[in-house]
Structure 1
Amino acid sequence: MTESVFLEGYDPAAYERPSVTVDLVLMGLRGGRPAVLLQERRDPPFKKRWALPGSFVGIDEALESAAERTLHEKARLERAHLEQLYTFGAVDRDPRMRVITVSWLALLNEQDFAAALAANPALLPAAIDVPWAGDAGGPITVATPGGTPIDLAFDHAAILALAVQRLRGKLDYSEIGFALLPELFTLRQLQDVHEAILGTALNKPAFRRRMQDRGWLAATGTREEGTSYRPAELFRFQRPL
């Protein structure tokens, strides 16, 4: 039997199919600490519970296209540092039916985080509290800006915890932290990002020496404006040769 003959006679309904979704961890810094954008579910299951923005994947839609569409539809953004995080496929993760979700880490700088909130006021900037050190992993908690704990829908707490673990694990050896910064930034802002994500203070001289030794920083020759103190030099990210 040739492949064309086989495909002509193949019945795609012979096997049950799970549904596939994408869920976005829209993460940035707010008030000097990690925060994530959530949306309130309007319908069951988990009606009125907060969840990561997500969408079902169309039958003719690529996963990355679905993630980019969700970024545009839910956060009204055209760009973000978008990388695939993990696939969550527990049989009972969705009470409606078998749903497999491909989660994405979508990092936003301060300007884009604020733009998403302005474009969609229904989004909630929830503060992230990480009780574990380093990139060990484990449960985390989220809270409203007023400090009220939030119980997330589905398995979204586990997705968010893995996103934080991934971010912490990659922060020191990859360029991922620069996605949380504007195009031009000071060394102080760069260290603030690392300290906020890691949840610990860093030695200033050692941190700056490590960043400069890696060839990630390109001096612009300009300084920040509108400060009440001595303006610091501005840098931009560059990929090492």
Structure 2
Amino acid sequence: MKKLVVLSGAGMSQESGLRTFRDMGGLWEEYDVMDVATPEAWQRNPELVNRFYNDRRKQLLDCEPNLGHQLLAGLQEDFDVQIITQNVDDLHERAGSRKVIHLHGELKKVRSSIDPELIFDLDGWELKLGAKCPKGSQLRPHIVWFGEAVPAMDEAVEITSQADIFVVIGTSLNVYPAAGLVHYTPSNCPVFIIDPERPALKVKGVTFIEEKAGAGMQKLIDLLANL
């Protein structure tokens, strides 16, 4: 069974109703990234940071996996599908995808402020200030903030280097280190990029599918049938 590795970004979940960060009308137009997505912001104003992620969780509860998520999960019948996602939602898992690595953390989880290895599932959408881990530290969102290391990156590179097929869905390939994964694909590995706007990418052998996630996945399935 061929290994199909997928790198997904915000555009993957946009059709489910989740607001993206970078697009026009996105969250970064409403919030300064330095105020809600850095360790310094958490130290400076934990109330604002906590409210921002509580709002994101509350929105996620009203969202469902879209056609793109569902079609991707369906590919597991014919491929060994490994998803590497920049998204912090759980829509891949809810659609039925079994192998998912979250590069930037998970919205529905929280972790210790002093021990990043202590990670817990959050019951409901609200993390309250004052909620502490067993070691006595305040629980924080289980999110990789700007300026923090990406713990899952080494695993993602290893998986990408073993890909038979590599697919990028819904990401502009502007956020590093995740955007650099495409350069770790084997030399004979076909690369497909699904996005309404073609990213500026200098990689040979790329097939661009200029569609949103759902329509793009439908076209990808047709193309995979001919490989």
Q: How does the TM-score come out when normalised to structure 1?
A: 0.26
Please say which structure displays the higher CA radius of gyration. Answer: 1
Q: How does the TM-score come out when normalised to structure 2?
A: 0.27
Q: Bigger relative contact order, structure 1 or 2, given CA contacts below 8 A and separation 6+?
A: 2
